[in-house]
């Protein structure tokens, strides 16, 4: 299960809406080993595409170094789908396989912005090409005390 603060969900959705019609992408970072997203890092979709996202390698390297320096790791990798449901595509699944060598076991959050009046937000674990949807518990900041 992914437990996440409402302000982080709102920030991801806002980023997805802002970048629409292109896919938005980014991460939620948190303390190493705690599976606890604490802050959003919006990233540039260097593909600038409505059907595909790609982290800019230079930006990704800088973000990764920053997280390492703060004893953080990517807890969530998120991106939007602009015309389809919030379900991983074959490309998304392949990309998760590439990330597996660098990242522990992130949650993959997809946000569909195909409907201009609402959004769909779902979370998955992707391991060895197998996609498993997981429940999301959205909590208020007061229910989610700061990490020690």
In the chain, the domains with their CATH numbers are: 2-141 (3.40.140.10)
Could you read off the pLDDT of 1-52 as tens digits, one per residue?
999 999 999 999 999 999 999 999 999 999 999 999 999 999 999 999 999 9
Longest CA–CA span in the chain (Å) reads 40
pLDDT of amino acid 119: 95
> Rounded to an integer, what distance in angstroms lies between the CA atom of residue 88 and that of residue 137?
20
pLDDT of amino acid 97: 86
pLDDT of amino acid 105: 84
Q: Model confidence at 78, in pLDDT bands (50, 70, 90)?
A: very high
Higher pLDDT, 132 or 104: 132
pLDDT at 148 > cutoff 60: no
Could you read off the pLDDT of 47-73 as tens digits, one per residue?
999 999 999 999 999 999 999 999 999
pLDDT at 95 > cutoff 60: yes
Looking from the CA of 60 toward its CB, the CA atoms found within 13 Å total 14
Rounded CA Rg of the chain: 14
The helix (run of H) or strand (run of E) holding residue 48 is none
Nearest to 4 by CA among 38, 31, 29: 38
């Amino acid at each position: 299960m992914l437990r996440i603060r409402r302000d982080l969900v709102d920030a991801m959705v806002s980023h997805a809406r802002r970048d629409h019609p292109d896919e938005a992408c980014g991460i939620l970072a948190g303390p190493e080993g705690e599976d606890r997203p604490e802050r959003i890092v919006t990233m540039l979709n260097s593909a600038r595409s409505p059907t595909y996202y790609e982290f800019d390698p230079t930006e990704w390297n800088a973000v990764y170094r920053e997280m390492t320096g703060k004893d953080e790791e990517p807890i969530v990798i998120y991106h939007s789908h602009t015309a389809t449901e919030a379900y991983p595509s074959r490309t998304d699944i392949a990309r998760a396989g590439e990330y597996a060598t660098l990242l522990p076991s992130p949650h993959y959050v997809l946000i569909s912005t195909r409907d201009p009046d609402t959004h769909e937000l779902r979370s998955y674990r992707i391991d060895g090409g197998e996609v498993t949807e997981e429940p999301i518990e959205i909590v208020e900041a007061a229910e989610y005390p700061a990490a020690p």
